[in-house]
């Protein structure tokens, strides 16, 4: 577990006021480093040493800002990230890392850039085929999560998981499934006036009605006037103990598989042949 | 918890979940047979059923009580700008399409159950005319022509398939048409030259089963009705949903105008199969017959109002008929088995481009009515004497209800080299100065086209709403003053109205959940649902807790 968290490394803070951030010219190094699996992996190692103390494991921020979502991460060009790492934030807590080699600086840049890109675009390490076998097999993911029509419905559909999530979000969903609950999947138990208990996920609810998908897949469209009680459950049915059951590599393989799920193949990767002849 | 204990717990949990989530109850799937039965408590196709009669069997709301119809709920679609979808309802769930998205609602409370949105769609926002339903799937098309299947209870993506290429001028708006084991879709983009077609896809996988082009390829029958400049493009889009005769296994689909819309100099001939009704074998996709309403159209008069299938006596003989109030101003009656032309007559008073039709149904043109660079006044308007506003038919009154637009436009044209996907500036239709157009709901005798009664509207003629007929003896429709209106079906007498305060681009439906009937109309940005008045029951604040 600790090793997994260490793999989630985070970069130097990026302050909006840093003049270096205004440098937006494209650098030839972007083509060499950005989006390249091996450099991202090397960047992870560097950040585990240099950056995670301030930016926190998982990139959620700490003493330094969040590097996955929020103004320090979104819409930042690689050259802006590079400059912030190299020069630091004058007048702030972020130190300069200019003593590192150019390669190391760009590897860290590649890693930080990857944090705020959809998981599909990151080329997440791991064996997706092995992850697929786990997903549909002993890990039991498909019992609750559908991908292109295969699987259950008690959890969110993952057909587009790679484009809808950052790697951090996917990882958090696996390792800490009850930390954040996807809207429409709040686990709930209701008791009707006749004493029937129904347990499932609340697709929606108000004081007057609740739309509940139960664990057998039946949708209940209920008027709250016929209910005695609604209890929102503390935990989802997502297993909270996955690190006890699977190795780090196995979990990484599952993440590699899920991160490659896209409702549409992004145009840069698509076959150029058109559907209409 | 130890690792082994955790594994046991998960194994039990997984087994339990796997056993109970194996499948949704099959009984609540949307079966082909359910659609065949026609609109009862559910509303399962764009036009209510395969015959496209838009006549509901529901009677709870009727002429005796419709005056106490009140709003029950309103659902606002945040990104809705010009909602054009007719909602479908099945098993208490309403499905509403919008540009690149679908909303599934609790049809009693109007609360969202799920929402699916496709981001990063090429071409951005387009009109969407709604969804199709079959088995566990909800089908819709994105603006860039992906046919998408979603799970009806969760909105989970089942499959998607791009069936037309936006780089060839296509965009897509059609409500998918599901029957048997397949779903049929068409394309938009004919006004930019895109060559029309229909495709059928497996409802299970999206695999393309057949494709029928509505502009023939070089060497095929009908190719000589085009010039060489336009044949590779041509238009004849298929952007509206059709109808289907299960006994004949035949689809009936209207096609759009030829391209360029207002200049015919580069496309000499009739331009098959533009502005036509085509009859298509549902299994093979082969065209059985066609009937062209407006050969060599230069006024943009698509034949897209969905064809209504009627089994009625015609001149003393029981016939299988297909009828359409065409955008060109004539009402047509055809034999739907053979495609034989039986009858046509104007359903508008202002019609200048043709003096009538010959014995084959071909229009008899009036000289000087083709668009000119300096403009020429022609009736009906470029929007047509009717358009995609839904017609309906009540078997009890024997009347067909259509929306008619009385009006004229100044049509202009210019002889420019046609360039696909590039607009023809300076061509089109504009309302003449000081000229007033007017909408009517007209009740027609469906075999003679005779006007039995009409209901005039008073608004600015910006409206695309159609009609709904019910066994309760009511015709519901949307008018161009933003009202949902109820009329007595036999006489056209006003019974009820409600102002939704927004323009209307689509047609009403009705459905039943439990023991209550509802009527729904989608406005520009909202879904309005009505039911009979009843006092609201007090709802005590329910004990709602969250586990610590």
Convert the pLDDT of each residue in B16-65 to its tens digit: 333 333 333 334 899 999 999 999 999 999 999 999 999 999 999 999 99
Are A22 and A16 spatial neighbours (Cβ–Cβ below 8 Å)? no
| Smallest CA–CA distance from A223 into chain B, residue | B109
pLDDT more than 90, % of chain A:
51
Task: For B112-126, write each residue's pLDDT tens digit.
Answer: 999 999 998 988 888
> Given a cut of 60, is residue B361 above it in pLDDT?
yes
What are the φ/ψ torsions at residue B412 (nearest 5 degrees)? Answer: -120, 155
Query: What's residue B3's pLDDT?
Result: 38
Question: Sign of the CA dihedral A33, A36, A42, A44?
Answer: positive
Say yes or no to pLDDT of B355 above 50: yes
User: ipTM more than 0.85?
Assistant: yes
Q: What is the pLDDT of residue A240?
A: 80
In a domain, A122, yes or no: no
Does a cis peptide bond (omega within 30 degrees of 0) precede residue B260? Answer: yes
- Min mean pLDDT across A60-64, B105-109, B495-499 is at A60-64
Q: What is the CATH number of the domain that holds A153?
A: 1.10.760.10
How many domains is chain A built from? 3
Residue A6 sits in the same domain as residue A107? yes
CATH number at A200 reads: 2.30.30.100
Question: What rounded mean pLDDT belongs to chain A?
Answer: 84
CB spacing of B106 vs A149 below 8 angstroms? no
Residues 6+ apart with CB under 8 A from B205: B159
| DSSP line for A166-215 | BHHHHHHHHHSTTTS--TT-EEEEEEETTS-EEEEEEEEE-SSEEEEEET
Is residue B270 packed enough to be buried (19+ CB in 10 Å), middle (13-18) or exposed (0-12)? buried
Region of poorest pLDDT, from A78-87, B171-180, B201-210: A78-87
The domain in which residue A197 lies consists of: 186-232
What is the SS3 assignment for B425-468? Answer: CCCEEECCCCCCCEEEEEEECCCCCCEEEEEECCCCCCCCCCEE
Interval B334-348 mean pLDDT: 98
Of A115-129, B85-99, B267-281, which gets the smallest average pLDDT? A115-129
Do residue A209 and residue B111 have CB atoms under 8 angstroms apart? yes
Residue with tokens 């499948």: B23
Residues A23 and A132 placed together within one structural domain of the fold = no
Q: Calculate the alpha carbon distances from B496 to B116, B458, B485 in Å.
A: 35, 16, 6
Residue pair B200/B238 in contact (Cβ under 8 Å)? The answer is: no
Residues of chain B neighbouring A233 (CB-CB closer than 8 A): 547
Lowest mean pLDDT among A34-38, B379-383, B396-400: A34-38
Q: Parallel, antiparallel, or unpaired for β B467-470 and B55-56?
A: parallel
Instruction: Say whether both A106 and A152 belong to one domain.
Output: no
- The pLDDT of residue A66 is 86
CA distance B6 to chain A (A): 7
If asked whether residues A34 and A90 sit together in one domain, one would say yes
**What is the structure's pLDDT at A267?**
59
Same domain membership, residue A35 and residue A111: yes
Mean of pLDDT values over B304-323: 96
Cβ separation of B168 and A276 shorter than 8 Å?
A: yes
Element (H, E) at B33: helix B32-37
B156 pLDDT above the threshold of 60? yes
Q: Please give the Cα distance from A193 to A199 (Å, whole number).
A: 15
Calculate mean pLDDT across residues B86-100: 97
Mean pLDDT, rounded, for A155-179: 93
Examine the domain organization and report whether A68 and A93 are in the same domain.
yes
Single out the residue in A117, A143, A168 at which a domain terminates. Answer: A117
Distance of alpha carbon B53 from alpha carbon B308, whole angstroms: 6
Q: What is the pLDDT of residue A114?
A: 86
Q: Are B307 and B323 in contact (CB under 8 A)?
A: yes
Judged by CB atoms within 8 Å, which residues 219-248 of A form the interface with B?
219, 221, 223-225, 227-234, 237, 239, 241, 244-245
Q: How far is CA B161 from CA A147, B99, B202, in A?
A: 15, 17, 11
Tokens 């007595």 belong to B488
Residue A256: alpha-carbon gap to chain centroid: 11
Is the backbone peptide bond immediately before B380 cis, with ω within 30 degrees of 0? yes
CA-nearest residue of chain B to A262?
A: B157
Residue A238 lies in a domain: no
Q: Is the pLDDT at A16 greater than 70, yes or no?
A: no
Tell me: pLDDT of B77 over 70: yes
Percent of chain A surpassing pLDDT 70: 86
Phi-psi region for residue B312, left (φ > 0), alpha (ψ -120 to 50) or beta? beta
User: Which pLDDT does position A37 carry in this prediction?
Assistant: 81
Q: DSSP of B41-94, one letter per residue?
A: S-B-STTSSTT---EE---SS-TTTGGGEEEEEEEE-TT-SS--PPPEEETTEE
Judge: A144–B155 Cβ closer than 8 Å, yes or no.
Answer: no
- The answer to whether the bond into B124 is cis (omega within 30° of 0) is no
Which is catalytic among the residues B42, B245, B270, B300? B300
Considering the domain architecture, whether residues A251 and A160 belong to the same structural domain is answered as yes
Q: What rounded mean pLDDT belongs to chain B?
A: 92
Helices A102-115 and A37-50: angle between axes, nearest 10 degrees: 100
> Half-sphere exposure of B210 toward its Cβ, with a 13 Å CA cutoff?
12
Please check whether residue B438 is in contact with residue B406, taking contact to mean a CB–CB distance below 8 angstroms. Answer: yes
Cβ atoms of B369 and B353 within 8 Å: the answer is yes
More confident of the two residues B308 and A75: B308
Work out the angle between the directed axes of helices A128-136 and A248-259 (0-180°, nearest 10).
100
Structure pTM?
Answer: 0.89
More confident residue, A73 or B280: B280
Cα torsion angle, B402, B407, B408, B409, sign:
negative
The CATH number that domain B35-532 falls under is 2.140.10.10
Band (pLDDT 50/70/90 cuts) for residue B5 is: very low
d(CA A28, CA A57): 30
> Same domain for A199 and A227?
yes
How many other CB atoms are there within 10 angstroms of residue B289's CB atom?
17
B49 is a catalytic site residue? no
Residue A274 domain flag? no
Asked if residue A148 and residue A47 are part of one domain, the reply reads no
* Strand ranges for chain A from DSSP E: 186-192, 197-205, 209-214, 219-223, 227-232
Q: B251 and B230 in contact (C-beta within 8 Å)?
A: no
The domain locations on chain B are: 35-532
B23 and A217 in contact by Cβ < 8 A? yes
In A, residues 187-226, which contact B (CB 8 Å cutoff)? 203-209, 211, 213, 215-219, 221, 223-225
Residue A53 belongs to what H/E stretch?
Answer: helix A52-55
Check pLDDT > 90 for residue A146: yes
Contacts of B9 in chain A (CB under 8 A): 241
| Closest chain B C-alpha to A128 CA, distance in angstroms | 20
Same domain, A196 and A170: no
- Is residue B543 over pLDDT 80? no
Average pLDDT over every residue of A136-150: 96
Gyration radius (Cα) of chain A, Å: 22
Provide the pLDDT for residue B120: 86
Locate B228 and state its tokens. Answer: 């060489």
Cβ A184 vs Cβ A221: under 8 Å: no
What is the pLDDT at residue A4? 34
pLDDT at A25: 62
Instruction: Please name the residue of chain A whose CA is at the shortest distance from the CA of residue B206.
Output: A148
Domain final residue pick, A117, A137, A163: A117
Q: Is the distance from CB of B475 to CB of B486 less than 8 angstroms?
A: yes
Q: Are residues A152 and A56 in the same domain?
A: no
Q: Do residues A84 and A15 share a domain?
A: yes
Domain boundary residue, one of A82, A117, A152 = A117
Token code pair at residue B474: 């009511």
* Chain B residue closest in CA terms to A186: B546
Give the dihedral of Cα atoms B523, B526, B531, B537; nearest 10 deg.
Answer: -160
Task: Pick the more confident residue, A194 or A274.
Answer: A194
Instruction: Name which residue leads in pLDDT, B266 or A25.
Output: B266
The per-residue pLDDT for A63 is: 86
């Amino acid at each position: 577990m600790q090793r997994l968290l260490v793999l989630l490394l985070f970069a130097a803070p990026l302050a909006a006021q840093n003049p270096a951030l205004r440098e937006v010219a494209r650098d030839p190094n972007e083509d060499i480093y950005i989006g390249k699996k091996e450099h991202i992996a090397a960047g992870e190692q560097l950040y585990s040493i240099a950056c995670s103390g301030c930016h926190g494991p998982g990139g959620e921020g700490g003493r330094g800002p969040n590097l996955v979502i929020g103004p320090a991460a979104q819409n930042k060009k690689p050259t802006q990230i590079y400059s912030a790492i190299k020069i630091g934030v004058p007048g702030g807590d972020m130190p300069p890392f200019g003593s590192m080699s150019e390669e190391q600086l760009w590897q860290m840049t590649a890693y930080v850039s990857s944090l705020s890109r959809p998981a599909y675009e990151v080329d997440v390490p791991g064996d997706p085929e092995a992850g697929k076998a786990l997903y549909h097999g002993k890990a039991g993911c498909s019992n609750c999560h559908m991908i292109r029509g295969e699987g259950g419905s008690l959890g969110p559909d993952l057909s587009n998981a790679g484009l809808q999530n950052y790697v951090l979000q996917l990882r958090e969903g696996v390792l800490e499934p009850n930390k954040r609950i996807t809207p429409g999947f709040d686990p709930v138990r209701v008791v009707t006036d006749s004493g029937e208990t129904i347990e499932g996920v609340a697709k929606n609810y108000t004081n007057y009605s609740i739309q509940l998908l139960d664990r057998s897949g039946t949708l209940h469209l209920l008027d709250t006037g016929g209910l005695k009680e609604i209890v929102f459950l503390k935990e989802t049915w997502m297993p909270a103990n996955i690190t006890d059951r699977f190795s780090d590599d196995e979990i990484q393989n599952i993440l590699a598989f899920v991160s490659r799920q896209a409702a549409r193949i992004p145009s840069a990767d698509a076959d150029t042949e058109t559907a209409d002849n | 918890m130890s690792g082994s204990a955790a594994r046991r717990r998960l194994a039990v949990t997984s087994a339990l979940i796997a056993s109970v989530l194996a499948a949704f109850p099959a009984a609540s799937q949307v079966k082909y047979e359910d659609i065949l039965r026609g609109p009862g408590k559910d509303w399962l196709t764009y036009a209510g059923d395969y015959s496209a009669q838009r006549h509901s069997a529901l009677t709870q709301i009727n002429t005796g009580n419709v005056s106490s119809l009140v709003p029950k709920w309103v659902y606002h679609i945040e990104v809705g700008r010009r909602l054009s979808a007719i909602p479908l309802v099945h098993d208490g769930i309403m499905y509403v399409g919008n540009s690149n998205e679908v909303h599934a609602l609790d049809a009693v409370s109007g609360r969202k159950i799920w929402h699916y949105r496709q981001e990063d769609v090429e071409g951005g926002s387009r009109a969407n005319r709604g969804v199709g339903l079959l088995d566990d799937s909800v089908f819709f098309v994105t603006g860039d022509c992906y046919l998408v299947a979603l799970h009806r209870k969760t909105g989970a993506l089942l499959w998607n398939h791009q069936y037309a290429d936006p780089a060839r001028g296509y965009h897509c708006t059609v409500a998918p048409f599901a029957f048997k084991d397949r779903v049929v879709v068409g394309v938009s983009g004919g006004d930019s030259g895109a060559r029309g077609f229909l495709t059928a896809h497996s409802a299970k996988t999206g695999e393309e089963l057949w494709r029928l082009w509505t502009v023939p390829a070089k060497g095929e029958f009908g190719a000589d009705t085009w010039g060489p400049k336009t044949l590779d493009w041509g238009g004849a889009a298929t952007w509206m949903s059709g109808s289907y005769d299960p006994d004949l296994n035949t689809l009936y689909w209207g096609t759009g105008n030829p391209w360029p819309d207002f200049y015919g100099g580069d496309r000499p001939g009739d331009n098959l199969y533009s502005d036509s009704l085509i009859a298509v074998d549902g299994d093979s996709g082969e065209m059985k017959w066609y009937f062209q309403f407006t050969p060599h159209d230069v006024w943009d008069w698509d034949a897209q109002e969905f064809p209504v299938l009627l089994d009625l006596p015609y001149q003393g003989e029981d016939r299988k008929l297909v009828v359409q109030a065409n955008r060109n101003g004539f009402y047509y009656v055809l034999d739907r088995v053979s495609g034989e032309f039986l009858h046509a007559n104007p359903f508008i008073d202002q019609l200048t481009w043709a003096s009538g039709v010959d014995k084959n149904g071909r229009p008899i043109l009036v000289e000087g009515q083709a668009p000119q660079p300096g403009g020429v006044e022609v009736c009906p308007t470029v929007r047509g004497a009717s358009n995609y506003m839904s017609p309906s038919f009540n078997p009890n009154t024997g009347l067909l209800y259509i929306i008619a637009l009385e009006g004229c436009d100044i049509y202009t044209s210019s002889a420019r080299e046609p360039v696909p996907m590039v607009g023809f500036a300076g061509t089109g239709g504009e309302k003449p100065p000081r000229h007033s157009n007017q909408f009517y709901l007209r009740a027609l005798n469906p075999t003679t086209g005779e006007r039995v009664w009409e209901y005039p509207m008073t608004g600015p003629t910006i409206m695309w709403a159609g009609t709904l007929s019910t066994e309760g003896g009511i015709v519901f429709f949307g008018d161009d003053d933003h009202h949902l209106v109820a009329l007595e079906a036999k006489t056209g007498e006003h019974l009820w109205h409600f102002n939704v305060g927004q323009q209307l681009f689509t047609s009403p439906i009705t459905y039943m959940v439990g023991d209550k009937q509802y009527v729904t109309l989608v406005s520009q940005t909202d879904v309005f649902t009505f039911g009979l008045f009843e006092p609201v029951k007090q709802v005590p604040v329910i004990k709602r807790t969250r586990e610590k």
